[in-house]
Amino acid sequence: MFSFAANISMLFTELPFPERFCAAREAGFRYIEVQFPYAYPPEEVAELLKDNGLSLVLFNLPAGDWAAGERGLGADPARVEEFRAGLEQAVRYAKILHTPLLNCLAGKINPKFDAAEHRRTLLGNLGYAADFLLPHKLCLTVENVNGFDVPGFFLQRTDMILEAINEINRPNVRLQYDIYHAQRSEGEIVNTLRNNLEWIGHIQVADNPGRGWPGSGEINYRFVFAELEKVGYQGHIGLEYMPGPKAGDTAASLKNFDWRS
């Protein structure tokens, strides 16, 4: 049986980040994910987790200047050393926070390089990262991101990620399947889940259009979740959606979603 994890980078945003841990606990969550924990010392984050009885199941590798629109380093031929330095930082956090999954964002296409150079860089970085993580018993996931929300993102389709995973052939690399992004890029949600379950290490959800709570849009999440139960998915499902800017929007969205039913 799968478990839901609140993404506290997108939920409870009316609160300062440290207060969102308590809010997630009070909402009934045992598991959370964050996009980036690096603004806070890992020891401080670990204390917040402990005080609230939470487990942090996933966070991203450093992804460049997020505020400036950067969305990852994994495929950029000009930033391999920065990728490796970020990997070391992420492992330090993961060991202190007892987080088993680190997610790699490939980032946007660098116009100075062609597609083949991006792909070679991605494969090299993924292989390097997988080998670096293995002694620490950590798993690397790789995420699909749609090109409507993030124009120029290098890995927009799941088949591109699955091909890369197959090519590097490491035991600790999996697909981080974001259903919202997949719906916008390619559809075929349930068939993808059925056909690639062994390669899926983590799932994230939001609805379309608007990236709202599951059930607010066109995706039949009751059917999707029932199918995940049927095929035996045992991982976590990250709630990475936008509930709204006002205090109470997250609580209202969770009630509408009824995520504990």
At residue 246's C-alpha, the angle toward residues 244 and 251, to 5°, is: 75
DSSP three-state, residue 83: helix
Maximum CA extent, the chain: 50
Phi first, then psi, for residue 165 (nearest 5°) are -60, -45
**Which helix (H) or strand (E) is 205 found in, with range?**
strand 200-205
Residue 260 structure tokens: 């504990």
How far is it, in rounded angstroms, from Cα 175 to Cα 104? 10
Instruction: Report how far apart the first and last C-alpha atoms of the chain are (Å, whole number).
Output: 13
**Catalytic residue numbers, as ranges:** 143, 240
